[in-house]
Structure formats: structure tokens, C-alpha cells
Structure 1
């Protein structure tokens, strides 16, 4: 078809032949159409922004506000000062030293924490113990988790610090502070005050503990136990060698810690309650109690000392015959204790029998822990036929009949040798049983008080745990008489013969000089073989005073020290002198 000029230039003919009107031309799309499209996009974007704003302000508003606040606030822990440990006289055994702890490397956030200081260092190290940072392994334990401990908190690791952790700890507080973009604290927004830990008063006497440490031979190993016989309160517990707990409180390097652990002298080992040793002749006190109570012997029982007893190929001598070649003739129970006569106690053990002897030993506390609050207490060993039969079970032992109990075994145990093992704390406890008239008092490091006087600034009352052993009064009197004579001329405890002290509290004469007082004491020496290739012996000594109204008992062990009278007794004497000179 031919196009003529009659058609406007604005009319376009499609190839299909349809005419396109002027308002449908492409120029319209570049104008009004584009505006409509843009408006639609704007409306959609606006509604999207509104929806996003609703989501951020309403749906996630609380969360985002918290995040925003977190960017300008910080929560700091206010560490509670740990409760102070006091000795029985009111002296501080611990103190708290403030120190800064950086808690965030991103800003200058520092919390004030406290490090423990121990003024009596090694003299009370095993009793007081020490604190240290809570480890991840400890933090995983339920005890610490439910009490809301956190990594890095300081806790009691050993000793009284560990025993009384819950009382001493206190409660940490919190402080909410506002900070700027650089992390600088602008102001405090809120505070939950910390609550200091409560104080605890221990039974120990700090000055007496120092005397105990100073009295012990330098370089020697052993232990000292000092107690109040009527209650079981421990006035001093010293283990040698000891250590400085301040090193632990400040923080040890791994090398320093391993050095202590691997020290052959074992300074961390609490010998006073955890070491077990043959008690030697100090066990004759237990033999005497059992024999008199069971009727195997009495005050008139007489045993002739001929120097030794022979059973088949075996000879069991008296120490006096072995050392000096002398015998002591007829011996009664009082003289047997005074002279520590082995022959008398061999026979007493034989007449009594190992079963009854073991029963009384266990009744007095040998063979199981006594229950002191401190960790690491050993129970010792009271052997008997049943134990030996279970102990020696190898074919060689059975063939040699080593599993059977022989009279010689009884003889050895009767004088504190053989398989018998006790702790220094156990020796002190049966010494107290004689001193207090026949009661077994549970040893404690807590100060015992009456119902009318508080035990500590915290106001707690602590009572002693003593039970009557049912020992006859005559038994106590006979053993006490023997122990009294042991510390008089003719006895074995020669360092305490005519024991006298100067006491400044009691002046005398015109010169107002300290008076010299004689203090009657009751003691028992002990020298125990322990299989040393050089024939060394443990030195033991146990004593209480005054005899009529005992207020203190002292038990001493020096490992491999020799004879108890020569080595251990002088140590006990210095402690008694300090106590009665006040």
C-alpha cells in the first residue's frame, strides 16, 4: 500500500498494519511512565524501611538497646576481703593485701583483689594452709559451680584456709560503670556492695608454734603435737621441714612448684597427722591400759627381769640389758613404765593376747583417722592375726607360714614395734586420755568455748567432742604414777628431772625477781627401730603437765633421731618452759 502525505508525521504504521496513537508513542514512556515507576519504587522502599524500623524498634528493640548499653557500660567485680584467721589469743594469722587485677585488655578496667599474707610463715604453714587461684579443673566441680565461683577467684587450697573456705570467703559485689568510646570510666551507675568473709578463731597458740619450730633441730625431720588434754584443742602442730605459704599466695612458677614437690625431704608433707611410724615404748601406755582393764595384770603383778626372754631360736631382750648388760629384777607396772621395761610388757602382752590388745588400741584411736578437720590424716595400722593372714598371701609366704601370727609378733607389738604404725597425733591423743582421766577427745583446730562466750568474732560456739573410754580410775592412777616417775631421777626421761621454770607472773623476795616454780610432769620416752640399714631409730617423747591438773600435753617425733630421752625430750622441755613461763 502506498503512503501519502496526508498522514501526519506523528503517525507510525506497525508492520502488522495497526496504527499507534500519539499518546502511545515511546516519548510517553520516557516521561509519565518513568515517573510512575519511580514513585512505585519509592513507595515500596518506604514501606520496607517502615517494616525494618518496626522490626528493629519493637521486635528486636530490647536486645539492641542492651547491646547499645553494653557498648557504654561495664560491670566490674568488687572482690570481698577474705575473713581473718586468729589464734586463740587474738593474734592475726592472716592478713589481706590489696592488689590490682586487670580484667580487660580493651580498656583500663582494673578490679581490686586481695592477696593473703601469712606473718607466721613456716611455723603454722601446715595448719593455716594457703590460698591460690581457682583452676579450671576446680571450677568444673559442682561445689564451686553452685556457689558461683568464677575462674581466677582465690580459694583456700590447704589447711584452715581450705577447711573454713565457706566462712572465710565472703560474697563478691558488683559495680556498673559508664564508659566513653576509649573505655574511660565516666561515672558509677550502680553498686552491689561486697560482703567481707567472717573471721575464724583457731585453737592454736601462734607464739607457742614459733617456739616449737625454733626448738626443732635444724635439718631434722619429724613432728610436734601440742594439745589441751581436756578438750583435744591443738595448741601447736609442727611438721619439719616446713614451707613458706606466702610463696603460694603470691604465685609459684611451675619450676618452683615442682621443686617443692620433688624435694626429698618432703616439706609439703604434714608429718604430724599424715606420717606413720612404729611408736616404740610410748605404746606401752596402751599395753598398760589394756592389760589392767582386762585383768591380765594388776598393781601387784610382778615380772622378773632376767635380761631377756628366749622362745625357740629367738631372743627378746630388755633395752637395759642390751645397752648396759644389766637386769632390773622384780618389776611391777609402775616400775615398768618408769623404767620402760621390755620384759614386763612382753609378758603383759602375752597374758593379754593380741586380740584384746588390738581391740583396746583401736578403741583408743589406732588404725583409723581420728577425724581432725585438716586433710591428709592417716589412720596408722594396728596389726592382728586377721590382718596378717590377709597381708601375706603369696605362695612363698604361705609356704613359709608367714601368714600365721606368732607369739613373737605379739612381743614386738607389745613394745611398739613390729607391724604397728601410728601418727604423732594418735600418740598425743592417747597421752591426753591418761591426762584427762580416760576420755578420747577428738583433736581439733577450732577453739573450744563455753556456751556463754563466743568462739570467734563471728560469734560461733564450739564444744569439744570427748567420749568416756570406760577406763577405771585405778588404771589411770597407776599409769600416771609410772609416767610421773619416768620424769624423776631413776626414770628414763632425764631431761625433765626436777623440772622447774621461772615465772614472771609470780614475784618473790625484796628484789621482786621472778619466782622459780617446780612443775610436776608425767612422761614416756620411746625409741623405735624402723629397719634402717645403719640401725638408726626414731626418737619419741610424750608428756603432760601439771600432773594433778593437766593443761598441756606435748608429743615429739624426730625421724631417725636416736633415743627419745636424748633427742625428743629436750624439745618438749623447751615448749613446756615457754608455756609455764608466761
Structure 2
């Protein structure tokens, strides 16, 4: 059918309008595309250039160099050693199993170490590097580097690991570092990003743990270029960050080595050596010890089990953690309390017939037949228990406790060491709060001879002796300087006791070591100008009195000795505890004397310092001591 001219015209108009609409829409779309292209290429060019750069360049943290630790003379105690390792980034590796299989064809991988790394990868974010193997030889690192294109996500790396060149000598003082654990991360809800670095080491015990904030430093960073497959192509730049602070301790390496060697001759013992003039801790020994280097990269189960199963407790720092009945070393405190209260005169005598009777109970003196009439000086010289039973009843526990606390008993000393104990200095309120019971006179008699509830650490015994020798409230100090800046010496003010009373107690301690009837006479120093004042102590660990030779080691009495020298001008104070050693005068006094002499002489003392009858024995002892003949190098600086 032929269309009319009118229909044709109408159809043409419709097509034209549609064409205009379609053309307009097309023009609009093209215009929008052009505008968007201009916006992306011109106005947002910098933003997209940055996004593209971030896809090509990665940022990674660099662990800072951990601060070094020195002794008082600049000898290195804790240093950083290079550690070549191989790390993997899971998100860059693709098929992890396949990539590791390729790596195993090139170098040997320990299966146990590999299993630990795979478990760690499962716990970590895919972008966090994980160490596959560390402590590698340079040849292994070079092999991995050459084959890097075939090993996506795997990178050879060099870092620093902690090393303790003096091994067990400072294990209980410096402590050790170890890899960051899940427990470490859980302790801090907002952990330092450094803790995510593979095998990053933090302080676990001792100074390493307590001074972590100073030793750690601040993280650095590096920029690396990666290709589309995530392989590292090159390093573009790095910022090494800020290394940790260097610490100088007050301890002396040579003296510490001698103390450890001397203590190791026994089964289980501890000692603290202190400068009574400024509070510097010159040595802190605890035996047996252990090698802290085994903990740095994670100790094996076998080695750890051997340490924890040892009944002599090598992991415990007995010098500051061990709390023992102080025995007769506490008698100076009772004497000072009685003198200050006016309850006893120096020339007044008390009869010792071998025991004191309280109600139906007898409190015995260590000397079964008694000491007869003894005055203040003789009571310390011969360590008469009955004399102190009488003083305790006259003075009372509250005044004794008040005096003892001024000398350091029951006090917590703020030192950067693990689990520093406060010991126990009981009084009437303490017993009521602790046990809900009233204090009894019998409790005072036990406390008077350092038994019962009284507990003290070797550190507190050394502090007590130092304060007695100077009459000042000197505080123990372990950190000598931080990055060369000296730390504060604290507590040099007078204790507030009558000087005459202090002299009386010191005279009694002098008699202990330098008169024939003194309990420490056999361990005297036989050279003018270095004579010592001391006090022995023996603390029971069981209520039934039995000869030490007749019971197992762990049921024997503890042996204690405190001393200072020279008597006229104190330079060194020492506190020694020999666990289950028996008598203080026989087991602890010789150890304390040897340590004191070494500290005074700055090395092995001449044989002339000892009584002539003992010199051959001392020579043989010195010959068998496992002393370090080599010395660490001089102090080093980061500058």
C-alpha cells in the first residue's frame, strides 16, 4: 500500500526527533567521559600517581639496634651480633608450599624450625614477614639472593641478635631477651609495631626486661620496590631509626666472676657486694647459674626441663628473690633497738644457762651448757641466744621492727631486677592482718634470734650491714649511667641513731671476726688496714633440732654471714647466704671473707691476707676456681 505524503512527513519528523535525542544522549555521555578523564588526568593526577606508587613500593619496619650494657669499668656485658636470616611474606609468596619446596632444593632447612615458622604464618597477618630460618651462613644468604626471581616472597635479611659474652656470670643480673610471644602481645592492648617484626627480641628477665623502654629504641623503615608478582626488586632507601640507650651498671665484671666462681663451689648460694658510701652494687651472685644465650632464640624443651627440674633452682635469683630467716645476723637490730630505748647498758651482764624458760616452754641457746654472764659486746662476739631472748622481752617486737626497717628489713628496693622480694619484718599489726592472731611473747623470742616470721634477702642483709657501717640510709644502686649520664645516688642522710650506740654494735661485730672467742675468728683477715667486722648466722628450716649431717641436704640449716671492711673506713659490705650449708661461721663466713678481700684488692688477694695456717689451703682453692682470664674489650660508643 502506497503511503501518503502526509504519513511520510510525519514519519520523517519522528525519526528526526529520535535522532536528536539519541545524539544528545551520546553527546552527553561523551561529554561526561571527557570531563571525568580531565578530572582524573589533571585534577586528581597526584592522588592516582600516589596509589600507583604504593602498589609498586612497600614500606617495612627496621628493628633498631638494642642498647648495649656495660659494667662499671666499660666491659661489655650484653652486645648485638649480626644474624643472617631468611624471611617470607605470605601474601607475596603465592603458593607457600611450592615456594618453600623450591627453597629446600637450594639450602638445608631444619624441619622443626620450618614447622614453627608455618604455625607463625597462620597466626600473623599475610603482609607480616616471618622468619623461615636464622643464624644462616653467608653462602646460604648469597644462594637465596641469586635465585630471588624464582622465590617470590622470600628475602635474605640481616638483623641483630643479642649475645652475652660472659655467659652465666651475669645471667641473674642482666637477664636475657627472647622472641616476642603471644603472651607478650596480649599483655599490651596497643603493642609497639616493632613487636610484629619477625623474631624481634625483647627483655624477658633482669635489667633487659626492667629497662626495656630504654634499651629497645625506636623503629626505622625501608622502602622497597616490588614487581607485579610481589617480588622484591630493589631497596630504594632506609631510615635506621633511633638505637636504644646504652646502660652502664655498677657491677664489676672481675668481682662478679670471682663471686660466681666462689659460690659455685657450694651447692646453692648467693651473695651481694655493696659500696656502703654510695650504694653501688658491685656484685650480685646466685649459684648455680645458667647460660642466658640459650634463651635468646628460644630454649629447647630438654634444656629448659633440665633447669626447672634442678633442685638447686638455677633460674632463681636467690640474691634478691630468696627470703630466708636471718638467724643471728638479726641480733644487731635487737641490740640497736634496746640501746636506743635505754633498755640495756653496755656493761650490764645477763646470765645464760643454756636456755630461757617461758611458761612451760624452753627457748634454748645454741650452746647447750650456756655462756655464763655476758655483756653486750660478748653477746655479739659469741652469739648468745639467751641474751637476746631477754632483750626481746624488754624492748618488744614493735620497737625492734621499727629499728630493723630503718636498716632495710621488710623494705622493697626499687632495682631493675626480676621479682625483688621485700622479705618480712613482722610486728603486732602484721600478725593480726596476716593470720588474725595476737602477737605472743614467744614470737618475740623467736624474732630476737632471726627466726619465726622474720625473713630477709641477701640484698637486705648487705644493705643492713652497709647502713650499720656508715650510719646513713644509703640506697642500693644498680644503674650507674644511661648514655653516659650519671644516675642519682639516693639515701645518704643519717639514720638518726645515736653514734655511740652504732659504735657499740660495730665493736661487737669487730670482736666476732678478730677475737679468739668470736664465732667468725677463723675467717678473719690477717692484714692491718683491712680488718673486717662481721656477724655469723644459722637459721633453722625445721623445728626439730637434729645434726645437719643426719638429714638430707634440703632439711639442713641455712648458713649466713654479713661483714664490712675496712673496719675504720668502710669500703665494702657483703651479705652471703649458703642454702642448707649448716653453720654460718663454717660455711658462709669463709665465702664472705674471700669475696671481701677480692673486692678490697681489686683482684685475687695476696696469701698474706690470710692467717698463715690457712695459706696453703687458700692457694689450692684459688687454683681450682674457674676464673675468667680473658677480659672483655674497652667501652665502646655509638658515636
Would you say same fold, with TM above 0.5?
A: yes
1:356 is the counterpart of 2:399: yes
CA 318–140 in structure 1, closer or farther in 2 if over 3 Å, else same: closer
8 Å contact from structure 2 (residues 382, 518) kept in 1: yes
Residue 225 of structure 1: SS of its match in structure 2? strand
Deviation at 1:412, TM superposition (A): 0.9
Q: Which residue of 2 aligns with 1:549?
A: 569
1:561 is the counterpart of 2:604: no
**In structure 1, what is the Cα distance between the partners aligned to 2:305 and 2:32?**
66
Residue 439 of structure 1: SS of its match in structure 2? coil
Structural mapping, 1:50-449, within 5 Å: 50=34, 52-54=36-38, 56-57=40-41, 61-100=45-84, 102=87, 104-105=89-90, 106=92, 107-139=153-185, 145=191, 149-152=194-197, 153-181=200-228, 188-218=235-265, 220-253=267-300, 260=307, 264-321=311-368, 326-393=369-436, 403-436=437-470, 438-447=471-480
Q: Which residue of 2 aligns with 1:482?
A: 508
Deviation at 1:341, TM superposition (A): 0.9
Residue 162 of structure 2: SS of its match in structure 1? strand
Deviation at 1:157, TM superposition (A): 2.4
TM-score, length-scaled by structure 2: 0.75
Which among 524, 547, 560 is matched to residue 497 of structure 1? 524
**In structure 2, what is the Cα distance between the partners aligned to 1:285 and 1:377?**
24
**In structure 2, what is the Cα distance between the partners aligned to 1:457 and 1:21?**
100
Which among 464, 480, 490 is matched to residue 490 of structure 2? 464
Report Cα offsets for 1:358-380 as digits up to 9, x if no partner: 22122322223133332311212
8 Å contact from structure 2 (residues 382, 512) kept in 1: yes
8 Å contact from structure 2 (residues 61, 194) kept in 1: no
Higher Cα Rg, which structure = 1
Report Cα offsets for 1:396-439 as digits up to 9, x if no partner: xxxxxxx3333222111111111111111111111111112x11
Residue 569 of structure 1: SS of its match in structure 2? helix
Which among 529, 532, 535 is matched to residue 521 of structure 1? 532
Residue 562 of structure 2: SS of its match in structure 1? strand
8 Å contact from structure 2 (residues 279, 489) kept in 1: no
**In structure 1, what is the Cα distance between the partners aligned to 2:236 and 2:264?**
60
TM-score, length-scaled by structure 1: 0.81
CA 40–576 in structure 1, closer or farther in 2 if over 3 Å, else same: same
**In structure 1, what is the Cα distance between the partners aligned to 2:557 and 2:38?**
89
After alignment, is 377-386 or 56-65 more displaced?
Answer: 56-65
Q: Which residue of 1 aligns with 2:618?
A: none
Deviation at 1:47, TM superposition (A): 4.1
Deviation at 1:319, TM superposition (A): 0.8
**In structure 1, what is the Cα distance between the partners aligned to 2:240 and 2:358?**
77
Structure 1 stretches lacking a partner, 5+ long: 1-11, 394-402, 448-454, 501-516
Report Cα offsets for 1:468-510 as digits up to 9, x if no partner: 211111112111111111112221114423435xxxxxxxxxx
Deviation at 1:537, TM superposition (A): 0.7
RMSD: 3.2
Number of aligned residue pairs: give it. 527
8 Å contact from structure 2 (residues 245, 482) kept in 1: no
CA 108–467 in structure 1, closer or farther in 2 if over 3 Å, else same: same
Report Cα offsets for 1:157-186 as digits up to 9, x if no partner: 221122322332223322223344465655
Deviation at 1:384, TM superposition (A): 2.3
After alignment, is 166-175 or 535-544 more displaced?
Answer: 166-175
Deviation at 1:56, TM superposition (A): 4.3
8 Å contact from structure 1 (residues 484, 521) kept in 2: yes
8 Å contact from structure 1 (residues 373, 444) kept in 2: no
**In structure 2, what is the Cα distance between the partners aligned to 1:347 and 1:440?**
28
**In structure 1, what is the Cα distance between the partners aligned to 2:414 and 2:422?**
9
Deviation at 1:95, TM superposition (A): 0.8
Deviation at 1:275, TM superposition (A): 1.7
After alignment, is 308-317 or 554-563 more displaced?
Answer: 308-317
Report Cα offsets for 1:5-44 as digits up to 9, x if no partner: xxxxxxx347xx999659979xxx9xx9999999778656
8 Å contact from structure 1 (residues 103, 111) kept in 2: no
Deviation at 1:108, TM superposition (A): 4.4
8 Å contact from structure 1 (residues 224, 557) kept in 2: yes
Deviation at 1:131, TM superposition (A): 1.8
Q: Which residue of 2 aligns with 1:450?
A: none
Residue 581 of structure 2: SS of its match in structure 1? coil
